[in-house]
Chain A
Amino acid sequence: GENVEQHPSTLSVQEGDSAVIKCTYSDSASNYFPWYKQELGKRPQLIIDIRSNVGEKKDQRIAVTLNKTAKHFSLHITETQPEDSAVYFCAAGGGDAGNMLTFGGGTRLMVKP
């Protein structure tokens, strides 16, 4: 089955700096890669996703890049703000597991004012 590894597990940045979170996956058939943001005590919410037919996708201050050859994808947050502080989860799906997503272990991002 699919296995998703996420790094780092914690990340502390100064407000205004960039943050990068990386994930690797094992199933070369996976073709959908979403990122979820979970604030403390709240539900995970989809912030951006990418499919295997593109290499990069941007939405304002966030972007995701995908390298299918190397089987890794990354979340980039620029000009970080305190409200970006949360746990971020990557996931992979659409491979042998069909519509099921396999989640990474999460990254706790702390943005210091």
Chain B
Amino acid sequence: DGGITQSPKYLFRKEGQNVTLSCEQNLNHDAMYWYRQDPGQGLRLIYYSQIVNDFQKGDIAEGYSVSREKKESFPLTVTSAQKNPTAFYLCASSDHAAGNYGYTFGSGTRLTVV
């Protein structure tokens, strides 16, 4: 997966249930991001983290939570407060090296509410 691994590939959530999406990278990147993508739509930023033990809300953080306890890991929890969680979730990472802004994306998790 090019150094960034998302699991599971498919996830089914029952109403009222919290689920956690995993994102792990071995690229030694400082920054990590979570995006939501709805069918035929663009990328919307949920949360991002520039450094371990710190993270910031993106444009659509409501109903989601994250943690960044290790540099290589940035799990996303979709809580029961997120009323319409069915979507494709993408994790990405980037290096803080001067001028190196390119993102590497994971292969995504497709979440469906059943």
A44-52, A60-68, A76-84: which lies at the interface: A44-52
Given contacts A89-B42, A100-B48, A103-B43, contact A34 B102 (CB under 8 A): yes
Binding site for A on B (CB under 8 A): 31, 40-43, 48, 50, 88, 90, 94-96, 99-103, 105-108, 110
Per DSSP, chain B at the interface is: loop
* Candidate in B94, B101, B103 with the most chain A CB atoms within 10 angstroms: B101
Give CA–CA (A106, B12) in the complex, Å: 27
B103:A101 contact, CB within 8 angstroms: yes
A44:B94 contact, CB within 8 angstroms: no
B107:A42 contact, CB within 8 angstroms: yes
* Residue among B100, B102, B106 making CB contact with A43, cutoff 8 Å: B106
Give CA–CA (A89, B41) in the complex, Å: 11
When distances are taken between beta carbons in the complex, the residues of chain A under 8 Å from B94 are 99, 101
A99:B42 contact, CB within 8 angstroms: no
Binding site for B on A (CB under 8 A): 31-32, 34, 36, 41-46, 49, 51, 89, 91, 93-94, 99-101, 103-106, 108
B96:A44 contact, CB within 8 angstroms: no
A-B pairs with CB below 8 Å: how many?
56
For residue A41, give the distance in angstroms from its CB to the closest CB of chain B: 8
Q: A41-B110, A43-B90, A44-B43 are in contact. List 7 more A-B contacts (CB 8 A).
A: A34-B102, A44-B105, A93-B101, A94-B101, A99-B50, A103-B43, A104-B42
B101:A32 contact, CB within 8 angstroms: yes
Per DSSP, chain A at the interface is: strand
A99:B101 contact, CB within 8 angstroms: yes
Give CA–CA (A103, B94) in the complex, Å: 15
A43:B108 contact, CB within 8 angstroms: yes
For residue B76, give the distance in angstroms from its CB to the closest CB of chain A: 15
Give CA–CA (A46, B96) in the complex, Å: 17
Q: Which A-B residue pairs are the 8 nearest by beta carbons?
A: A43-B105, A93-B101, A105-B42, A32-B101, A106-B42, A99-B101, A103-B43, A43-B107
